[in-house]
Amino acid sequence: MLDNNQEFKQSEKSIGCLGFAVCGLSFIPLIGVLFGIIAIVWGVTAKNLKLIIVGVAGILLTVVIYGSLGYFGFVQEGGVYDELRAKMAKTQLTSAVQSIEFYKIQNGKYPESLDVLQKSLPENSFVFLYDAAQVNMDQARFYYYEIIDENSYHIRSYGRDGIINTADDILPAQIENVGLVADYQVVTGL
């Protein structure tokens, strides 16, 4: 009398190279999950343990890759992704300054808020007014924007910590002959 494990090994059928090609496709991140599931189902129906193991390994690779990308991109502080977000925020702030100045030319005054500016932009505009340095994806947050007087304003990123007037705040590149006051100190109610 054979136990289940011996019966499983004895009934293994040759699946040919197509089965292992499907297993190989299971190592492609993201779409490999589909091929991994196909390999597992094929392995169970053909009673082929190798096919099942390789299919599971392909799925686990996708989980590990995307899990580590999520960690390094959104959780780890001080990594390369923080630097990239800071550079992106600086670039976006500089383009926002240009849009603010264009708004003033069209309307004779600076926009009351970035929401007003956002609504005045074309539908598929490449100007992004949401703070790129913010890691929290639960709610999008506009850059900090304040009109100082009728001829000047200040805009900055809150930085990773989300608190204004801290060392991680990001300022736009200085542009001459515009109303931007880059070295303005924000007065907080604390």
Question: Angle 32-46/16-25 helices, nearest 10 degrees?
Answer: 150
Write the pLDDT tens digit of every residue in 102-116: 999 999 999 999 999
More confidently predicted of 76 and 87:
87
Q: Could you tell me which of 153, 179, 187, 183 has the C-alpha nearest to residue 171?
A: 183
Percentage, residues of the chain above pLDDT 70: 88
pLDDT of residue 37: 94
- Going from N- to C-terminal start, the domains of the chain cover 15-75, 87-190
Tokens of residue 79, six digits: 């990594």
pLDDT of residue 76: 73
What's this model's pTM, rounded to 2 decimal places? 0.64
pLDDT grade, residue 7 (50/70/90)? low
More confidently predicted of 161 and 187:
161
Write the pLDDT tens digit of every residue in 115-125: 999 999 998 88
Q: Is the pLDDT of residue 27 over 50?
A: yes
Per the CB < 8 A criterion, the answer to whether 85 and 160 are in contact is yes
